[in-house]
Amino acid sequence: MSKLHELFSNPAVENFGTALRFAIGKREYGGGEDYASLIEFEYAESMAQFVNVLKKFLRRYDAYARRYERENPGKASFRPNEKDLDELVKLANEHGVRNVCAAIISHALVRPYKEE
């Protein structure tokens, strides 16, 4: 298996990509319209920038998730967990920040797979 395949198929990358997909979605469909995070992931190059982008994204996403749950009683919003965060930082060290950011953005922008 190629290293890029391992990166793109990593559950942490998939989970952060899913969260970014929800964050950039239109509000009328339950999204957060957070295009700033998409751009910040796009331009992160160093590990320090990556950590800062993650912090900002998670802060914005938490606000979006709380608003979603408040506006949709009984529905829980999707959230990546601590294990995903730790794995993402490890992957950035192994594969490089640019590759990890590209994988997250790619997962955010593709249509989710649904079994027929």
Supply the angle between the helices 11-24 and 82-95 in degrees, to the nearest 10. Answer: 110
- Residue 109, pLDDT > 90, answer yes
Question: 40 CB contacts (<8 Å, ≥6 apart)?
Answer: 53, 56, 57
**Averaged pLDDT score across all residues of the chain:** 90
Q: Please report, rounded to a whole number, the percentage of residues in the chain having pLDDT higher than 70.
A: 91
Question: 29 CB contacts (<8 Å, ≥6 apart)?
Answer: none
- Residue 114, pLDDT > 60, answer yes
DSSP track, 27-79: GGGT----HHHHHHHHH--SHHHHHHHHHHHHHHHHHHHHHHHHHSTT-PPP-
State pTM to two decimals: 0.90
pLDDT score for 116: 45
Domain ranges of the chain: 3-109
Tell me the per-residue pLDDT of 91-108, one tens digit each, with 9 for 90 and over. 999 999 999 999 999 999
Tell me the per-residue pLDDT of 9-64, one tens digit each, with 9 for 90 and over. 999 999 999 999 999 987 766 667 889 999 999 999 999 999 999 999 999 999 99
